[in-house]
Amino acid sequence: DMAISGQRNPFMGKWKVGLDENNKMVALDTELYLNAGWSSDLSVAVMERALGHIDNVYFIPNVRAVGRCCRTNIHSNTAFRGFGGPQANVIAESYMTEIAERIGLTQEEFRELNFYKEGQLTHFNQELKDWHLPKGYFQLKEKANFDARKAAVEDFNKKSKWRKRGMSLIPTKYGISFTALHLNQAGAMLHIYHDGSVLLSHGGVEMGQGLHTKMIQVASECLQIPMDMIHIIETSTDKVANASPTAASASSDMNGMAVKNACDQINERLEPYRTKGLAWKDMVHHAYFDRVNLSANGFYKVPDLGYKWGENKGQLFFYFTMGVAIAEVEVDLLTGSHTVIRADVNMDLGRSINPSIDIGQIEGAFIQGMGWSTTEESLYFPNGRLFTQGPGNYKIPGFQCIPQEFNISFFEDVTHDSVKTIFKSKGVGEPPLFLGSSVYFAIRNALWYARQENGHPGSFSLSLPATPERIRMAVGDSIAESSKLEAKAGERPWVLSVF
C-alpha cells in the first residue's frame, strides 16, 4: 500500500528576510517548492494553503511568496492532515530561529517582538480578529515555568558533555476553511418519530474523531432533549447529497450549523405546542396527530468567504485556530537518539463543544506532528520507487516516544466576539499538528549547545525529519566531522531523501 499511495507533500523553502533597526521584520521574499510526484493530485490546493501560512504568527508588512509544484518520478503525493500548513509553518519557524541566532537575540525575544497584533492584516489582507495568540503564549510560558526550566537546561548542559537538553516555545495559527469556495457547505437530515426519538444524518464522516458525538450534542442542545433520544444514521449520499469532504478541520463547524438549521425548522413547527408547557414527547405526539411535518433538511454555507487569487482581495479563511507548545528534550549525542521529557500545549478552541474530544485531538495531532518532524523519513530509490515500506523502515512514534509529561490546556480569559461558528467553537483537527514540531526545534536547540562546545558557533541547518542519523552528524564533534562523505564523480546514491 505504501509503495503506491501518495504521502504528505515534501517542501523546500528559500527565503530572504529584511529587518529594521529595531529587529522587526519588514520584508519576506520566499519561494516554496512542493514535490507533487508524477501527477498534480491536490498539490495546487496544498500549495495555496502553504502560501497562506508562510507568515505563521508574525507581522511582515511586505511579503512576496511564490509557490512551485514540481513534477517528479515518485508516486503522486496527496492531502494529509495539515494540508500544507505545517510545512509552511516549519519554514517560517526555521527562518525565525536562524535569524534570532544570527542577530544575537534569544528565539523567544525575536518571536515576541514580531507577533501580530489585534486588527493587523495578514499578507493576504485578512484582518486578525479576536487575536489571542500573544495572551495564550504568555499564559503557557508562565504556567509551564519556561524561564526557570530554560535556566535549568543551560545548567544541565554545562555539566554534561555527551547528553544535552533543549527547549522550544513554538506558536501557530491555522486558517479554517476550504480554500476552494464551493466546498464550504454542508447538509443534514433530521427525522422526529411520534414516540419522541430522533434520527439524525449529516454530511460528515465519523473516523474516530468524535464528529457524531458532537453532532448529537448540537441536536440535543437545540432541541432541548437528552442525548440518548438522538440516534445517528451512517453518512450516505441517499440521506445527505453533495456532501463536502470531511476535511479542513471544518466538519464540526459546517455540519453542526446544518444540524442546527434542521433543528430550528423543527422548533419553529413545534413552537405552538411548546408554549403550552408540554413535555417533548407530548409535543411530538400532538404535532403528529395535527399532521405537522416532523422531518427537516438542514443546510449551511460558510458566509463572508471569497478570496480572489491574483488580486489579493476577499477573505481566505473564516477564522483562525491558534495555539502554543513548549517541548523539552534530552539528546544522546553519541547515538543521536532523544527523549521528550515534557510537552505543554495551550490552544484557543473558542467555546469547546466537547473538551474531552478536543484534548484527544490535540494529543493525537501533537504526536503525529512529532513523528513527521523527527522519525518518519521516506527514502526512495533513484528510479522513484519507495524504499521505506512498512513499519520496519518507516518509523512512526511508539510508546517510548510519548512525552514523559504531557499537559494540555485551553486559553483562559479570552472572548470570541467575531466567531460565527456553531456555539462559538473552533476547529481542532489539524491546527495542533504543527505544534508537534516543537520537539524538532527543541532537538535543534540541544544541538546548538553541543555545537557551541565543539567549536561550531552560530546558525546551522537541520533538515526534517530529525532522525538519529541527522542528529548525530549535526553534533559537530571530531567523530561526526571526520565521518562526512562527499559523493565521488559519477557516484549515485542507493537511496535518497526527497524534498
Which CATH number covers residue 200?
3.30.365.10
Share of the chain above pLDDT 70, in %: 100
Domain match, 129 and 272 both: no
Domain match, 190 and 285 both: yes
Question: What pLDDT is attached to residue 209?
Answer: 96
Residue 489 inside a domain? The answer is: no
Residue 2 inside a domain? The answer is: no
CA distances from 167 to 212, 405, 432, 442 (A): 38, 14, 18, 4
Describe the strand order of the beta sheet including 11-19 as a list of residue ranges: 11-19, 25-37, 62-71
Distance, CA of 365 to CA of 356 (rounded, Å)? 14
Class of residue 395 by CB neighbours under 10 A (exposed 0-12, middle 13-18, buried 19+): middle
Question: What pLDDT is attached to residue 485?
Answer: 83
Domain match, 170 and 318 both: yes
Residue 241 inside a domain? The answer is: yes
Query: Residue 251: pLDDT band by 50, 70, 90 thresholds?
Result: very high
Query: Residue 86: pLDDT band by 50, 70, 90 thresholds?
Result: very high
Question: What pLDDT is attached to residue 488?
Answer: 86
Residue 1 inside a domain? The answer is: no
Domain match, 412 and 463 both: yes
9-28 tens-digit pLDDT: 999 999 999 999 999 999 99
Question: What pLDDT is attached to residue 280?
Answer: 97
Which of 255, 277, 301 is a domain's end point? 301
Q: The C-alpha cell of 175 is what?
A: 486558517
Residue 493 inside a domain? The answer is: no
Which of 275, 301, 327 is a domain's end point? 301
Residue 270 inside a domain? The answer is: yes
448-482 tens-digit pLDDT: 999 999 999 989 999 999 999 999 999 999 999 99
Whether 498 shows a pLDDT value over 90: the answer reads: no
Domain match, 195 and 322 both: no
Helices (H), 332-475: 355-374, 438-453, 468-473
pTM: 0.96
Q: At what angle do helices 355-374 and 85-103 cross, to 10 degrees?
A: 60
Q: The C-alpha cell of 257 is what?
A: 450549523
Whether 499 shows a pLDDT value over 80: the answer reads: no
34-53 tens-digit pLDDT: 999 999 999 999 999 999 99
Pairwise pLDDT comparison (484 vs 142), residue with the higher score: 142
Question: What pLDDT is attached to residue 487?
Answer: 82
Domain match, 467 and 349 both: yes
Phi, psi of 195 (to 5 degrees): -90, 0
Domain match, 230 and 100 both: no
Q: The C-alpha cell of 180 is what?
A: 476552494
Domain match, 145 and 36 both: yes
Q: The C-alpha cell of 433 is what?
A: 499538528
Which of 237, 267, 301 is a domain's end point? 301
DSSP 3: T
Whether 1 shows a pLDDT value over 90: the answer reads: no
Distance, CA of 246 to CA of 234 (rounded, Å)? 14
Domain match, 124 and 225 both: no
| 465: preceding bond cis by omega (within 30 degrees) | yes
Residue 150 inside a domain? The answer is: yes
Domain match, 343 and 394 both: yes
Domain total for the chain? 2
Residue 435 inside a domain? The answer is: yes
Question: What pLDDT is attached to residue 373?
Answer: 98
Domain match, 230 and 288 both: yes
Whether 144 shows a pLDDT value over 90: the answer reads: yes
Catalytic residue, candidates 93, 430, 453, 491: 430
Domain match, 398 and 449 both: yes
* Contact present, 52 and 63 (Cβ < 8 Å): no
Question: What pLDDT is attached to residue 222?
Answer: 98
* Contact present, 201 and 235 (Cβ < 8 Å): yes
- For residue 430, indicate whether it is catalytic: yes
Tell me which residue range forms the domain holding 447.
11-178+313-482
Cell match 525575536: residue? 110
189-203 tens-digit pLDDT: 999 999 999 999 999
